[in-house]
Amino acid sequence: MLPALVFMIVVTQVPFLFTLFYSTQSWNLVRPGSREFVGLDNFAAVFRDSQFWTVTLNTVVLIVGTVVISVALGLFFALLLDRKFLGRGIVRTLLITPFLVTPVAAALLWKTSLLSPTNGLVNWLLSPFGVRVDFLSQFPLASVMAELVWQWTPFMMLLILAGLQSMPKDIQEAARVDGATSLRLFRELTLPHLRRFIELGTVLGAIYLVNTFDAVYMMTSGGPGVASANLPFYIYQRAFLGFDIGQAAAMGVVTVVGTIVVATLAIRLLFKSFSVTEEAA
């Protein structure tokens, strides 16, 4: 147990301590000899940066939009797969496939094969109507969100499907015998039972999506301008294209602290939901 704990601390906390140290330094790789201690100046510069707030808003929109749409689609497909029909196993396998695709490969697939303005499948389907849209330029954030929804819907579907299959069948049958309609059964029995599974998927999805980099980098490179940039990509730009290690580290610290605060609150609410459900049972 102790070696594993030491390894986890070394892997996670030591790099963060270095990031904290660099966030107090004025250090640009173009001028390596000019490094000096500046205290909290980098953080002040970050909070004065209008693009940082634009990118933060992009990140929130990307996370919320992806999670909400993925959960809604996951719920729909889970309800579909909870029924018995011919070929259910094949359909389930096909629906799971997007989650198994490497994120970089998925981003390239959407960029070149689906949303390309010249030979993309979507524009080919729109061509009979005389419409041709450059989605990656005109709707960059929505394009990235669509790719992430495509990848995350199977995860939400599997989680919700597990919740559906854990429901006691005798309670559902008793409700039907008492004359409950399908809509009322879903609203008063199925949805409350699925609440904790939906909340779990929401928390896990949001925590992972904060770190999304590959989809933004491969599909739009954050453009046009910073229209589709999120926090990880903007930090990458500042560090490896702008060579400003100090401000990039400060942005990283702000992002980590904000993520920890939000994730802690969400996890507490999730644990509270699970404990209430267990007490009710």
Instruction: Round to whole Å and give the CA distance between 205 and 201.
Output: 6
Provide the pLDDT for residue 111: 94
Provide the pLDDT for residue 131: 85
Full set of structural domains in the chain with CATH: 51-279 (1.10.3720.10)
> pLDDT digit of tens for each residue in the chain (281 aa)?
678 888 888 888 888 888 999 999 888 888 877 788 888 999 999 999 999 999 999 999 999 999 999 999 999 999 888 888 888 888 888 889 999 999 999 999 999 999 998 888 999 998 888 888 899 999 999 999 999 999 999 999 999 998 888 887 777 777 777 777 777 788 888 888 888 899 889 988 998 899 899 999 999 999 888 999 999 999 999 999 888 999 999 999 999 999 888 888 888 877 776 665 555 55
Provide the pLDDT for residue 273: 67
Provide the pLDDT for residue 276: 57
Provide the pLDDT for residue 264: 86
Instruction: Round to whole Å and give the CA distance between 72 and 47.
Output: 35
Instruction: Round to whole Å and give the CA distance between 147 and 160.
Output: 21
CB-based contacts of 169, cutoff 8 Å, min separation 6: none
Rg for the chain (alpha carbons), in Å?
23
Do 19 and 253 meet the contact criterion of CB atoms below 8 Å apart?
Answer: yes
Provide the pLDDT for residue 85: 80
Do 222 and 143 meet the contact criterion of CB atoms below 8 Å apart?
Answer: no
Tens digit of pLDDT for each residue in 140-149?
A: 999 999 999 9
Tens digit of pLDDT for each residue in 36-95?
A: 888 899 999 999 999 999 999 999 999 999 999 999 999 999 988 888 888 888 888 888
CB-based contacts of 66, cutoff 8 Å, min separation 6: 145, 148, 149, 152, 205, 209
Provide the pLDDT for residue 275: 66
Provide the pLDDT for residue 62: 95
Provide the pLDDT for residue 1: 67
Burial bucket for residue 205 (CB in 10 Å: 0-12, 13-18, 19+): buried
Residue 28 three-state SS: strand
